[in-house]
Structure 1
Amino acid sequence: MFIIIGLVVVFGSIIGGYLIANGNLAVLVQPAEMIIILGAAMGAFLASQTKYTLGLVIKNIKHIFGDPGMNKARYLETLALLNSLFSKMHREGVISIEQDIEKPESSAIFTKYPSISKDKHIVHFIGDTLRVYLTTGDPSDIESLMKIDMESMHEEEMVAPGAVNRMAESLPGMGIVAAVLGVVLTMGMINEPPEILGHHIGAALVGTFVGILFCYGIFGPMAAKLENHAHEMHAYYNVIKEGVAAAIRGSTPIIAVEYGRRAIPHAFRPTFAEMEEKLKG
């Protein structure tokens, strides 16, 4: 939603200001310039990708127009899910959650929180960690394993914003290429009247304008949006890591989820009373 609002503001401000200055919008419509700039930038983008990185970019495009959905309610749901698992471990032993982590789709604990359990990455992050602990009974390396998992996921999530940002950075250069070609064409018409030369020089300058606009007004913000999405998800997984690590170290369920609560960013962090009310509910 914010990306759409932002783009509307960008184009509204530019076009509005241009019209106020009595600009002619028809002059800005230069299909040849667009083909040169966008085509060359897209070609350079594809040339820089591997099958793996291109797949990640395509997979993450949806995040440009979506939102991670991080809010206080989502974090409370996550803490409640973790508390249910930790409480069962505390009451009945670690082995009691074996079926919950082996078959989360039929687990009474996971299915109670559909907004969390429908995300397979989150379920696997929790389940795989507890499965290792259940199998080995050794808590010493569990937190390190979660950190490795988080770093790997974060690096993958940063591939798409990096690729889109590099394409954005290439657009001003491609705009200059289009502008230079426009000047070359204009020089071939040097004997034409000034009004015709002026029209072609203006068309050439549109190339520079479009390259800069697309870089800082469209693709740059898209890359930043993907990067912000990755950082928010990393913070979310960190909450889970802190809670699970504390539970495996032997902390009581309420202390373990308190570790998770303290890791929540301040903008979304519920108070202890709010968390306690959610857990009781």
Structure 2
Amino acid sequence: MDISLLVGVLLAFGSVVSMVILEGGRIESLLLPAPMVLVFGATIAVGFASGKLRDTLRAFGSIPRAIVGRTRPPQQIIEQLVGIADKARREGLLSLEDDAAKTDDPFLKNALQNIADGTDSEELRELLESELHTQIADMKLSAKFFKTLGGYAPTIGIVGTVVSLTHVLENLSEPETLGHSIAAAFVATLWGLVSANFLWLPLGDRLGRLAQLEEENLNLILEGVLAIQNGIQSRLLGERLSAMVPAHMLSKTESKTTAKPDADARSKQD
């Protein structure tokens, strides 16, 4: 689990709370139900109105994924593909049907099954690229939804402030309440800005980053399985796939682990 989202959001809200306390204010003065209901309720409502029902449901359904932030390490994918390449060279492409049945990755399962079935390499590339684009587009749609909420929230906060100030102007005959009423009116703007920059936009950016990482992993699998279909050596496959990944995302043992299967295969052939 990657805790950066939770830690970042908590620190952001903690900074606001610290500022209020250091200035001698009261947290309760910011926790006013009316502006919070308006900002959060109206923001979600207009976000709902800007798309389709399933878009909203899928976006909020992706929140646990954003919180967990789990992505498969590229090194693990490379090692798995190197092992599959070694097996394919020793036992033939038909043996990959067993690997397809064992893997939990739907994308890899589909790719290996098509190789075992004898699908042409060009047709397989087109199929996998279409599946990849569809899967990533669905993830990016959720990210876009929360970024849309982040754009609406500050303006809705201003709407709440204008509404509250209208009530203030209606009660100018009671000057002793003006200070409190004006301060309460600006709470709506505050929550509009806070919800956008502390919640909606970070959620959108987080999901966008996860979509990017997933796309990179799927591209690794795509290029790996096509190379396996063409009979590439496992050592060369490991080097080719490692070159597609930034160095900081690979451990120092990568070259050793990717080279070992091929060495074993050569020893058996000798």
1:222 to 182, 203, 206: 203
* Aligned counterpart, 1:31: 33
1:252 to 201, 225, 233: 233
2:123 to 103, 117, 141: 141
Q: CA deviation at 1:53?
A: 1.7
Check the 8 A contact 1:94/1:134 in 2, yes or no.
yes
Q: CA deviation at 1:160?
A: 0.7
Check the 8 A contact 2:143/2:205 in 1, yes or no.
yes
Q: Which amino acid aligns with 2:250?
A: R
* Aligned counterpart, 2:268: none
Check the 8 A contact 2:35/2:188 in 1, yes or no.
yes
- Return closer, same or farther for 1:222/1:170 CA change in 2, 3 Å cut-off: same
Q: Which amino acid aligns with 1:82?
A: L
Deviations 1:19-68 (A, max 9, x none): 22222333222111111111111211222332432342133111221122
Q: CA deviation at 1:158?
A: 0.3
- Return closer, same or farther for 1:276/1:130 CA change in 2, 3 Å cut-off: closer
Q: Which amino acid aligns with 1:37?
A: V
Choose 42-51 or 175-184, whichever is displaced more: 42-51
* Aligned counterpart, 2:267: none
Runs of at least 5 residues in structure 2 that lack an aligned partner in the other structure:
265-270
1:191 to 142, 166, 173: 173
For 1:131 and 1:137, the matched residues in 2 are separated by 9
Q: CA deviation at 1:277?
A: 6.5
Aligned residues: 260
Check the 8 A contact 1:164/1:222 in 2, yes or no.
yes
The 5 Å alignment of 1:59-98 reads: 59-70=61-72, 74-98=73-97
The ranges of structure 1 where at least 4 consecutive aligned residues each deviate by more than 4 angstroms after the TM superposition are 277-281
For 1:64 and 1:140, the matched residues in 2 are separated by 35
> TM-score, normalised on structure 1?
0.84
2:149 to 160, 167, 170: 167
Q: CA deviation at 1:137?
A: 4.7
Deviations 1:239-278 (A, max 9, x none): 2122112122231222223222222232212455333367
For 2:28 and 2:112, the matched residues in 1 are separated by 63
Secondary structure (helix, strand or coil) at the match of 2:120 reads: coil
Q: CA deviation at 1:142?
A: 2.5
* Aligned counterpart, 1:112: none
Choose 238-247 or 205-214, whichever is displaced more: 238-247
Check the 8 A contact 2:82/2:258 in 1, yes or no.
no
* Aligned counterpart, 2:223: 242
For 1:214 and 1:137, the matched residues in 2 are separated by 50
Check the 8 A contact 2:238/2:259 in 1, yes or no.
no
Q: Which amino acid aligns with 1:224?
A: D
- Return closer, same or farther for 1:210/1:47 CA change in 2, 3 Å cut-off: same
Q: Which amino acid aligns with 2:84?
A: L
Identical amino acids, percent of aligned pairs: 22
- Return closer, same or farther for 1:140/1:205 CA change in 2, 3 Å cut-off: same
For 1:161 and 1:137, the matched residues in 2 are separated by 34
Deviations 1:135-183 (A, max 9, x none): 2352233333322221111101101110011012111111011101101
Q: Which amino acid aligns with 2:132?
A: M
The yes-or-no answer on 1:153 pairing with 2:110 is no
Deviations 1:63-111 (A, max 9, x none): 22112244xxx3333223222222222112211222332x32xxxxxxx
2:45 to 43, 46, 67: 43
